[in-house]
């Protein structure tokens, strides 16, 4: 197995810097992808209640002989469950066939409904019960994070946000860093690499290092101090995405990729997203 970096979170727990995301995968696809990923060397899996594939994740975890303490399993609280996170967590743990989560995240703040602070308070209590090791959020802006801190005194360990070369969110990333919140990238390849993989700087670096454009982008995330969870259900790509620990980008190369930032958001805006 290729060894990778572990990131220490603000609560002292550690997360593998590179994990597998299973967004838009069926139960069957998720199970197969995770079985492949665990064989390759991945130890971190990221799912969510709304993905409707927690059962598939659970089946894959039941099939492995890797000790539970060597795995890092993340799932997320959906928007319709902000007022009853205990019930939502119970359902997720049942589907995942787990006794505890390594990380539980509020999926979206849904600020119009204004229940995310209540959800956070509920998750804090669930953590105290030993059902969750670490707690965090997804898609929170600075104002949302500040409210959590002001009203509970408990800061998330992670803020998982859309982040890729076209949307680098540097002010939010910096705010997270200042408050010791680890930034984690979703859609790290800009959902298939469109508009990214064909960029001259990415292709030039791929040629220089003998890597694919996807591997260059994943390495950019890692060398930028981000936790990253590229999604794939294709065995060859799952393996390819993990084969990024034998090279590093230098500061000038990171700065070149920084020049690709165009503020292009592919997913919803957290300030206005209301889906339940």
Percent of the chain with pLDDT over 70: 99
pLDDT at 231 > cutoff 60: yes
Q: Is residue 264 part of a domain?
A: no
Q: Per the structure block, which two tokens stand in for 202?
A: 């990415």
Structural domain boundaries enclosing 179: 6-258
Token pair 């990778």 is found at: 4
Which pLDDT belongs to residue 2? 52
Q: Is residue 272 part of a domain?
A: no
d(CA 192, CA 206): 16
* Average pLDDT over every residue of 157-185: 98
Under 8 Å between Cβ of 227 and 15: yes
Q: 57 by DSSP, 3-state: which?
A: helix
Q: Is residue 159 part of a domain?
A: yes
Q: Per the structure block, which two tokens stand in for 260?
A: 């690709």
DSSP state at residue 109:
-
DSSP H/E element including 15: strand 14-16
Q: Per the structure block, which two tokens stand in for 274?
A: 């209301």
Percent of the chain with pLDDT over 90: 97
Q: In sequence order, what are the residues at sequence separation of 6 or more whose Cβ sits closer than 8 angstroms to the Cβ of residue 199?
A: 165, 260
- If pLDDT is split at 50, 70 and 90, which confidence band does 249 have? very high
Total domain count, the chain: 1
Looking up residue 197, the CATH number of its domain turns out to be: 3.20.20.100
Q: 227 by DSSP, 3-state: which?
A: strand
pLDDT at 9 > cutoff 70: yes
- If pLDDT is split at 50, 70 and 90, which confidence band does 4 have? confident
| 97: number of Cβ within 10 Å | 13
Q: Is residue 263 part of a domain?
A: no
* Average pLDDT over every residue of 156-173: 98
DSSP H/E element including 106: strand 101-106
Residue 223, Cβ density class (10 Å: 0-12 exposed, 13-18 middle, ≥19 buried):
middle
Q: Is residue 273 part of a domain?
A: no
- If pLDDT is split at 50, 70 and 90, which confidence band does 194 have? confident
Q: What angle do CA 161, 166, 170 make, to 5 degrees?
A: 55
* Average pLDDT over every residue of 121-137: 98
Average predicted confidence (pLDDT) for the chain: 97
* Average pLDDT over every residue of 85-102: 98
Q: Is residue 274 part of a domain?
A: no
Q: Is residue 74 part of a domain?
A: yes
Q: Per the structure block, which two tokens stand in for 39?
A: 């064989």
Residues annotated as catalytic (active site), given as ranges: 51
Q: Is residue 102 part of a domain?
A: yes
Which pLDDT belongs to residue 192? 83
DSSP state at residue 119:
H
DSSP H/E element including 202: helix 200-209
CA–CA distance from 172 to each of 159, 243, 265 (Å)?
10, 29, 14
Whether the model clears a pTM of 0.85, i.e. scores above it, the answer is yes
Which pLDDT belongs to residue 34? 98
Q: What are the tens digits of pLDDT across the range 12-29?
A: 999 999 999 999 999 999
In DSSP notation, 117-183 reads: HHHHHHHHHHHHTTSEEEEEEES--HHHHHHHHHHHS---SEEEEE-BTTB--HHHHHHHHHTTPEE
Which pLDDT belongs to residue 1? 42
């Amino acid at each position: 197995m290729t060894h990778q970096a572990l990131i220490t979170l603000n609560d002292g727990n550690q997360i593998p810097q590179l994990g597998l995301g299973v967004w838009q995968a069926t139960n069957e696809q998720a199970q197969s992808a995770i079985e492949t990923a665990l064989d390759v060397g991945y130890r971190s899996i990221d799912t969510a209640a709304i993905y409707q594939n927690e059962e598939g994740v659970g089946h894959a975890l039941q099939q492995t002989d890797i000790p539970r303490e060597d795995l890092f399993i993340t799932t997320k609280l959906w928007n319709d469950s902000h007022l009853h996170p205990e019930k939502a967590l119970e359902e997720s743990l049942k589907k995942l066939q787990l006794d505890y989560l390594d990380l539980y995240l509020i999926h979206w703040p849904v600020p119009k409904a204004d229940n995310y602070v209540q959800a956070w308070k509920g998750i804090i209590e669930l953590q105290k019960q030993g059902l969750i090791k670490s707690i965090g959020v997804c898609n929170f802006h600075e104002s949302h994070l500040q409210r959590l801190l002001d009203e509970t005194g408990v800061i998330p360990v992670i803020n998982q946000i859309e982040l890729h070369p076209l949307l680098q969110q540097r002010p939010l990333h910096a705010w997270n860093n200042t408050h010791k919140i680890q930034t984690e990238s979703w859609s790290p390849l800009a959902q298939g690499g469109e508009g990214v993989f064909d960029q001259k700087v990415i292709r030039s670096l791929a040629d220089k290092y003998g890597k694919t454009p996807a591997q260059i982008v994943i390495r950019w995330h890692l060398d930028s101090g981000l936790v990253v969870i590229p999604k794939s259900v294709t065995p060859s790509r799952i393996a390819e995405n993990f084969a990024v620990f034998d090279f590093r980008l230098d500061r000038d190369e990171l700065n070149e990729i920084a020049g690709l930032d165009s503020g292009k958001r592919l997913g919803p805006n957290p300030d206005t997203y209301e889906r339940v």
